[in-house]
Amino acid sequence: MKKRYLALLSLSLVMLAGELGALELKYRFLPGSVYEYEHTVKRSSRMAAFKTTSSQPPVVDTQKFTLRAIDFQNGSHIIDVVSPTGTYRRYIKENGALAGAPGETGQAIPFLLTLPTADWKVSERHQVQQTLMSGDSALPATWNLMLKSVDTEKQMAEILFALVVKLPEDRIRRKEFTLKGKAVFNYGRGVLQQAEWASSYRFIFNNREMAINRELWLFDHQETGVLKLIEAGSEP
């Protein structure tokens, strides 16, 4: 009888420990607050055609943008993104999905990384699936996310993410596209603290006639992105 109580107690403790290890990650922009980010993009490319090669050295572009948190309505944060190219109104859900972008009507919305609403556990994988359009082709694409570590003291969660998408290919085109990255989410404040990602695109163009196959060109594009929260505070 005593053993049964001990077993039940142990079980409930284990369950409680699991609950304590779980983490909820969601955006919580504070209305009236301003968040300043720095976004750095580095692009490089190279090309090969037989023995002729050409490289475009890395081009770095850094720009700062500011988020003005206006309100929280119907489950969405109302945010103004103030960038050198203009100011854009966004309705952003707590999981990072876009509920609306009235200032960008008609524009293709990026394939956004959304946070699963379930509780996150370290080393547990999550998937977010969407359809991406490439020309006229609809491509199934998946974001794979995994909580790598949690810093309870700083209230930071480190998330690894990777994109899986198969670009359209045929007998003359072979392509590979990969994107991998890491994000540090401040779950205490409900904002993204930092993120880094790198994408690689490789396209081999060849000609095939009957049994003869000749590779003509290779295109290789690399891009890295770094996003950093520089400052967060109230509107002066």
Partner 1 sequence: MKSRQTKYICIFSIIMATTLLLHVRPVSAQGGSPFDMTSRFKLWLLNNEARAMSSLKADGILADRVNSPFAFMPFNSAPAAMAEEKLWAIHYKFYVLLDEIQAIYTSAKTFGSGRFGILFKQHRPEIWAVMPLQTALPGLTSITAIEYRKAFHAALLKVLNLDASRDADLSTRLQRAVKKLSDEEFRLFDDYLNTFSALYPSDPTARIIATFIESGSKKQFAAALKDFLNPVFTAPVLTDINISNSPLEPDDPLAELEKLAEGAEISTSAPSETPEDTGDEAGNDGQQRAPTTLEPPPEGTEDLFKIWD
| Short-list 160, 167, 162, CA closest to 142 | 162
Strands 156-165 and 137-151: antiparallel
Shortest Å, Cβ 126 to partner 1: 14
Q: How far is 167 from 225, CA to CA, in rounded Å? A: 21
Q: Which residue intervals of 55-146 are DSSP H helices?
A: none
CB of 49 to partner 1, least distance (A): 6
By CB under 8 A, tell whether 211 contacts partner 1.
no
Q: How many residues bind partner 1 (CB under 8 A)?
A: 73
**Footprint on residues 61-120 left by partner 1 (CB under 8 A):** 61, 63, 65, 67, 79, 81, 83, 85, 88, 90, 92, 96-98, 104, 107-113
Among residue numbers 12 through 31, which ones bind partner 1 (CB under 8 A)?
A: none
User: Which member of 121, 146, 203, 226 binds partner 1 (CB under 8 A)?
Assistant: 203
Separation of alpha carbons 90 and 49, rounded Å? 44
Give dist(CA 35, CA 13) in Å, integer.
40
- Rounded Cα distance between 201 and 203, Å, is 7
Q: Which of residues 140-199 bind partner 1 (CB under 8 A)?
A: 141, 143, 161, 163, 165, 167, 172-173, 175, 177, 179, 181, 192, 195, 197, 199
Q: Is 39 a binder of partner 1 (CB under 8 A)?
A: yes
Binding span for partner 1 by CB under 8 A among 7-15, 118-126, 151-159, 201-209: 201-209
Phi, psi of 17 (to 5 degrees): -65, -40
